[in-house]
Amino acid sequence: MKRHKTGLRKGSTGPGGDLSAEEVKKDFVPRHVAVIMDGNGRWASKRKLPRLAGHKAGSNAIRRTIEIATEIGVEYLTLYTFSTENWKRPKDEVSGLMSLFEEQLAKETDELHGQGVRIRVLGRMAELPDSTRKAFTEAIEKTKGNSRLNLNLALNYSGRAEIVDAANALCEAIRSGKETPDITEEMFARYVYTSGIPDPELLIRTSGELRVSNFLLWQIAYSELWITEKLWPDFAKDDFLQAVAEYKQRKRRFGGLVEV
């Protein structure tokens, strides 16, 4: 696992950098990139701002990431947007986040739709406030025919909860006769939130923390990890390009000795 310092690194883009979107997308790019967007609160604290200001700044980083992922041809982008544990935060912060989600959807959905982005939600959406759930439902419905970029928002999400939900759904399918009792990995994979979506080849985490935070526990078994100390609001298109470029240089063996 490589952790990077903030700022420009050897081979990174930006002023004086030598990577471009055109260069990075040559030959191949990962089909699926997942991102743990961490550091909004610390970004705000460093500037003596309320935490919600960090979340608002983080929404700009989301926009940049969607743009560059689309530009280089990534098919699936999964963003850790709000975890089941985040309900434990102060009520005003949670309420502000829900309002921010609604505002951003109202502001961005039409443009994303025009760019061919399909919005999906991974998680227990039924537990969201009514107005927030309605906003996401409308965005999902509006963009469901798009396929240029599949934007998966992990919302009210927990990797363990996903596995429990999948297990319960699979048990019900077995009881009803839809599935046989001989459970396989392939069978179980049909019942996780990401059914039909390839596992992420690359997992990016900001803020320098060395943990996966209960994110996509089933899906990241063989994901390559790329960690930067940059806080999420500071994450730039250049950083995304650097992560993908470094991923392309790695040898993925999937537990074997022969490079795949």
Q: Are 217 and 200 in contact (CB under 8 A)?
A: no
Using CA atoms, how far apart are residues 157 and 155, in angstroms rounded to an integer? 5
Query: Mean pLDDT across the stretch 12-21?
Result: 59
Strand partners, 122: 154
Whether 252 maps to a domain, the answer reads: no
Whether 259 maps to a domain, the answer reads: no
Whether 255 maps to a domain, the answer reads: no
Helix-strand-coil percent breakdown of the chain, rounded to 5? 45, 15, 40
Does residue 54 have a pLDDT over 60? yes
CATH number reported for the structural domain that contains residue 84 in this entry? 3.40.1180.10
State the average pLDDT for the chain.
93
Query: Distances in Å between the alpha carbon of 188 and those of 60, 118, 185?
Result: 36, 25, 5
Regarding predicted confidence, which is higher, 159 or 17? 159
Range of the domain at 109: 2-247
Lowest mean pLDDT among 93-107, 193-207, 243-257: 243-257
Task: Give tens-digit pLDDT for 119-135.
Answer: 999 999 999 999 999 99
Closest CA to 205 of 226, 222, 224, 219: 226
Q: Are 206 and 36 in contact (CB under 8 A)?
A: yes
The two three-digit tokens of residue 8, written as one number? 């420009």
Strand partners, 198: none
Closest CA to 132 of 104, 110, 154: 104
Total domains in the chain come to: 1
Q: In what side-by-side order are the strands of the sheet with 32-36?
A: 2-4, 224-228, 202-205, 32-36, 76-83, 149-157, 117-122
Whether 258 maps to a domain, the answer reads: no
Using CA atoms, how far apart are residues 239 and 236, in angstroms rounded to an integer? 5
Whether 219 maps to a domain, the answer reads: yes
Whether 198 maps to a domain, the answer reads: yes
Query: Which residues belong to the active site?
Result: 38, 86
Using CA atoms, how far apart are residues 45 and 231, in angstroms rounded to an integer? 12
pTM of the shown model: 0.92
Q: Where are the alpha helices (DSSP H) in 34-192?
A: 40-46, 51-72, 91-114, 130-143, 159-175, 185-189
Whether 50 maps to a domain, the answer reads: yes
Whether 97 maps to a domain, the answer reads: yes
Strand partners, 65: none
